[in-house]
Amino acid sequence: MLATARAWLAQDPDGQTRAELRTLIERCEEGDAEASDALSDRFATRLAFGTAGLRGELGAGSNRMNRVLVAQAAAGLAAYLREKAGAHTPTVVVGYDGRRNSHVFAIDSAELFAGAGLRAIVLPRLLPTPVLAYAVRALGADAGVMVTASHNPPNDNGYKVYLGGADEGSQIVAPADAEIAAHIARVAEAGDIAVLPRSVAYETAPESLVADYVAATVAVSPAPEGATGLNWVYTAMHGVGWETMSRIVDAAGYPAPHVVVAQIEPDGAFPTVAFPNPEEPGALDLAFDLARTVSAELVIANDPDADRLAVAIPDPEAEGGWRRLTGNQIGLLLGWQAARRASELGATADASLACSLVSSPGLQAVAEHYGLAFHTTLTGFKWISRAPGIVYGFEEALGYLVNPGTVRDKDGISAAVAMLGLVAEARGRGAGIAELLEEFGAGFGFFDSDQVSLRVDDLAVIERIMGALRDAHPAQIAGVAVESVDDLLGGVDGLPPSDVLRFGLTDGSRVIVRPSGTEPKLKVYLDVRGDSADDARARISALAAGARTLLDELR
């Protein structure tokens, strides 16, 4: 382990991580057991490159995000692209957000791509992930890299890869992930990243690229008459969303929001939130404080790289008078809007709605009502974006694809514009989001959902629970008998194999269990369909209590 650490130290170009690693090595040489454990944690394995790219804690070592690991990833991706391109010179576009080291990782990547003989283009400044996804298609690039850890904790960063051409700017899936990983492994095994060729002959994308994204997103939902006087609050969650979002809001004709000033500028330290994820408790507290002060009708939030959307509405029965909508509620309302518009435009039966298998089955009811096709996919927009004929897709983790002709990925900015349009249209007839949710239930069914999650320090706990559920399926959950079990490890309904268990209950409820792909969590997704909104709420509450009991018994 010491030899591995010394070899890593010798090639590390980053002064901070070099100092960090040198101290650990010296302490370990002196017999410090704690330092030895820390060194083992950093070098016993390496961050795996998969369909989510790379994501992890910043720091020295192969099991951390750092300049050595990023250089290996960039060189491996370049080798993969050259292998696929033949005589063609591949183009790669690189974007970055406001997290620690994002810009450094982006420039390292661009220099290595250029040094490998590729055409490398860097976005003109820190920008949202959806702009990078747009740029891959708009520039005709073979691939794109976005340096971001999205909504992960402040000390994380990541490396997300997109493919152009036939993949139309979607995130990578198998077998590309394994093929890229194999090239990265060969680079890592070769040793010193200092010998990798570099060049500063990369390009900077023109500002017109961002202007084109803005124009395409404005077209998603120009402000209707009901937008006049709309009183709303926006927070960027210390991320990169506001500069782009503000331009679109103005160009689309919506009133400017009240912004959460303390969170509106990019800040990789995320000083006002413990966890920069709008789904987490407390993350929207400052937005709610401002909303109460200005008597807002609506709160809209993006996560730090602006690929997700959160929405909250006034609710006198909720603590503090404000209630966050679930990802499924937002997804179903936006899906209803998309299906209605597709129908009005004369969409054919090939046009489809799509959502991940852990998202609300209510979207299928919408698709059937409007005569559209429907597709269930594995979790992640790398799958949703590839649904045939897609006009709209979503997943319950606050991800929405509302403009597939522009961005083949979740896009929290275009989704925000679509939501503003939905709210404005409802205002025009004296209704609000609460009334829209009631109308949806009356028209398509009263669907409700919840999620129970278990965060762990040791991933072996998750493996043990999944193994126990496979070895002995529960006979009942929350007192309701289990009548069907689908183990997606073997592939079900044409879906690729995945570490997911799906339980169907005799009352029509559904329980899905899967490990998180980005966090040390086991997630349990719950869905019910009730006879009324109150009935659905009662059912989901009982099912959530039953799921917690099941996890406690297996832990």
Q: What angle do CA 370, 375, 376 make, to 5 degrees?
A: 130
Taking each continuous run of H as one helix and of E as one strand, the counts in the chain are 17, 22
The dihedrals phi and psi of 4, each to the nearest 5 degrees, come to -60, -45
Catalytic-labelled residue, pool 150, 359, 414, 509: 150
- Strand 476-477 and strand 203-204: the pairing is unpaired
CA distances from 129 to 150, 151, 153, 255 (A): 8, 12, 17, 25
Coil, strand or helix: which one is 536?
helix
Paired tokens of 225: 């008459």
- Strand 54-57 and strand 91-96: the pairing is unpaired
- Strand 119-122 and strand 203-204: the pairing is parallel
Nearest alpha carbon to residue 49 among 66, 69, 29? 69
Are the C-beta atoms of residues 308 and 325 closer than 8 Å to each other? no
Nearest alpha carbon to residue 340 among 245, 447, 425, 430? 425
Are the C-beta atoms of residues 263 and 238 closer than 8 Å to each other? yes
Length of the chain: 555
CB atoms near residue 31 (< 10 Å): 8
Nearest alpha carbon to residue 387 among 228, 280, 494? 494
150 given a catalytic annotation: yes
Q: What angle do CA 238, 239, 244 make, to 5 degrees?
A: 125
Following CA atoms 310, 313, 316, 318 in sequence, which dihedral angle do they give, to the nearest 10 degrees?
Answer: -10
Helices (H), 200-326: 207-218, 241-252, 285-294
Enzyme catalytic residues: 150
